[in-house]
Chain A
């Protein structure tokens, strides 16, 4: 089955995944005059669509609809035509005595290492890791995590997760070493593998827990230690990013703050404590400067009371640090003075130009862009469906 799409023109592109399909945004010249494409897969719920930076023409999209089961579509011609995966991510049929697992949706897509050009990874809900060695045509379970004896201990009760189901996200491959990977579990924490996914260990030391009661406040967990599962605290990383040029540097936006970790260290430092107190350091997204390991962007949200997840005080703003979190500057020039949208965890993306372009999408269907590292903001598109992901890339 071939589905017609929209072919990207060569050059910079924003891949915008929404609750009702995929849209492309491309600038007419430079980073101005952004043109919005017609929708692709109109009506499909698209959790994530990603352009492969290794070839500039392979696009993968994790989709489902209100009625139909989850699948993955892929294009090898920059979006012109699409084919469904021959074998999309799916759990094994449960054997006798085994607990059946049913894939709700594929949530996250990550291209693999540059030396493995057809390798991709996917994260799903229920939380599981998948890999493809043929550019998304067929997907296999990463059994070192999905079938590990501690799987249930690590991933918690699916019914106790986030409202749309707990997700495996933020799959990050070390650019120096294809065998070295990280991912985040929205119900479980950050995990690391040094053997291409055969084995995984938690990497949560220093992270606060959303469910800690006062008696465990400040409790930190040991690297590789799962005992915390039995004592109550749980971890909810929202977005984890490895620095592309300095891969020992990791940034994380967590349910409980903004963190930075420099390997081989194993203790996350809460750099969000330096955010203004009336704004706080709760959010979903994390954007890391492609060249400077001390610069990143976050978009704070209201994590008080019942967690509205809108901008604190209804005043949207991006915050940037240029000194690894020692200080933060508010960047709201051009953004609405009042606004009540949410920016979901896959909705902030950066290009690699100089100065870096920063882009984000909102639940209210707007795409905002800054051509000057957040100094000024411009609305690039509006009136789209609820935005689930924005990915900047360069089409070949």
Chain B
């Protein structure tokens, strides 16, 4: 499955913004992503398995805050960062 990586995390993927990862759920996919790019998950998901507030996930074009979101029938996960800061 294709995963779109936001700019602040491109250092983990050698600047590649579309990478491959697998999983039946968003949580499984993020763990697989972390196996491929160590450390990337904790920058997005805290130790209580909660999404960090300024990271946004889209599964099949629909925003979700549910790590158990099923990825069946989906071909793409998009990760974005909020347009915030200063």
Interface residues contributed by chain A, number (CB under 8 Å): 21
Do B46 and A102 touch (CB < 8 A)? yes
Do A67 and B47 touch (CB < 8 A)? no
Do A1 and B48 touch (CB < 8 A)? no
Classify the interface of chain B: helix, strand, loop or mixed.
loop
Do A1 and B38 touch (CB < 8 A)? yes
**Assuming the A-B contacts A1-B38, A86-B38, are A65 and B8 also in contact, with contact meaning beta carbons closer than 8 angstroms in the complex?**
yes
Do B39 and A1 touch (CB < 8 A)? yes
Which residue of A has the minimal Cβ distance to B43? A68
Q: How far is the CA of A66 from the CA of B83 in the complex (A)?
A: 10
Q: Which residues of B contact A103 (CB under 8 A)?
A: 46-47
Q: Which residues of A contact B11 (CB under 8 A)?
A: 1, 3
6 tightest A-B contacts by CB? A68-B43, A66-B85, A67-B54, A90-B47, A67-B81, A100-B48
B70-84 interface mask toward A, CB cutoff 8 Å, 1 = contact, 0 = none? 000000000001101
Q: Which residues of B contact A3 (CB under 8 A)?
A: 11
Do B55 and A67 touch (CB < 8 A)? yes
Which residue of A has the minimal Cβ distance to B6? A67
Do B42 and A90 touch (CB < 8 A)? yes
Which residue of B has the minimal Cβ distance to A2? B11
Residue A88 interfacial (CB < 8 Å):
yes
Residue A71 interfacial (CB < 8 Å):
yes
Residue B63 interfacial (CB < 8 Å):
no
Residue B35 interfacial (CB < 8 Å):
no
Residue A34 interfacial (CB < 8 Å):
no
Q: How far is the CA of A84 from the CA of B42 in the complex (A)?
A: 12
Residue A69 interfacial (CB < 8 Å):
yes
Interface residues of A (CB under 8 A from B): 1, 3, 65-69, 71, 84-86, 88, 90-94, 100-103
Q: Which residues of A contact B86 (CB under 8 A)?
A: 66
Which residue of B has the minimal Cβ distance to A84? B39
Q: How far is the CA of A308 from the CA of B49 in the complex (A)?
A: 38
Q: A65-B8, A67-B8, A67-B81 are in contact. List 9 more A-B contacts (CB 8 A).
A: A67-B54, A68-B52, A68-B55, A69-B44, A71-B39, A84-B39, A90-B46, A91-B48, A92-B47
Q: How far is the CA of A202 from the CA of B26 in the complex (A)?
A: 45
Do B46 and A69 touch (CB < 8 A)? yes
Residue B50 interfacial (CB < 8 Å):
yes
**Assuming the A-B contacts A1-B38, A67-B82, are A93 and B48 also in contact, with contact meaning beta carbons closer than 8 angstroms in the complex?**
yes
Which residue of A has the minimal Cβ distance to B45? A69
Chain B nearest CB, measured from A137 CB (Å)? 12
Q: Which residues of A contact B85 (CB under 8 A)?
A: 66-67
Residue B9 interfacial (CB < 8 Å):
yes
Do A66 and B54 touch (CB < 8 A)? yes
Q: How far is the CA of A88 from the CA of B81 in the complex (A)?
A: 22
Chain A nearest CB, measured from B51 CB (Å)? 10
Q: Given B47, B52, B55, which contacts A91 in the complex, CB threshold below 8 Å?
A: B47
**Assuming the A-B contacts A1-B11, A3-B11, are A68 and B37 also in contact, with contact meaning beta carbons closer than 8 angstroms in the complex?**
no
Q: How far is the CA of A92 from the CA of B82 in the complex (A)?
A: 27
A sample of 5 cross-chain residue pairs with beta-carbon separation below 8 angstroms, ordered by A number, consists of A65-B8, A66-B84, A66-B86, A68-B43, A71-B42
Q: How far is the CA of A85 from the CA of B38 in the complex (A)?
A: 10
Do A68 and B9 touch (CB < 8 A)? yes
**Assuming the A-B contacts A68-B43, A71-B43, A93-B47, are A1 and B12 also in contact, with contact meaning beta carbons closer than 8 angstroms in the complex?**
yes
Q: Which residues of B contact A88 (CB under 8 A)?
A: 39, 42
Q: How far is the CA of A27 from the CA of B84 in the complex (A)?
A: 38
Q: How far is the CA of A52 from the CA of B49 in the complex (A)?
A: 33
Chain A nearest CB, measured from B80 CB (Å)? 10
Which residue of A has the minimal Cβ distance to B84? A66
Q: How far is the CA of A246 from the CA of B24 in the complex (A)?
A: 60
**Assuming the A-B contacts A1-B12, A1-B38, A86-B38, are A69 and B48 also in contact, with contact meaning beta carbons closer than 8 angstroms in the complex?**
no
Do A68 and B8 touch (CB < 8 A)? yes
Residues of B17-70 contacting chain A, CB below 8 A: 37-39, 42-50, 52, 54-55
Q: How far is the CA of A85 from the CA of B42 in the complex (A)?
A: 11
Q: How far is the CA of A68 from the CA of B43 in the complex (A)?
A: 5
Q: How far is the CA of A71 from the CA of B8 in the complex (A)?
A: 14
Q: How far is the CA of A391 from the CA of B84 in the complex (A)?
A: 30
Q: Which residues of A contact B6 (CB under 8 A)?
A: 67
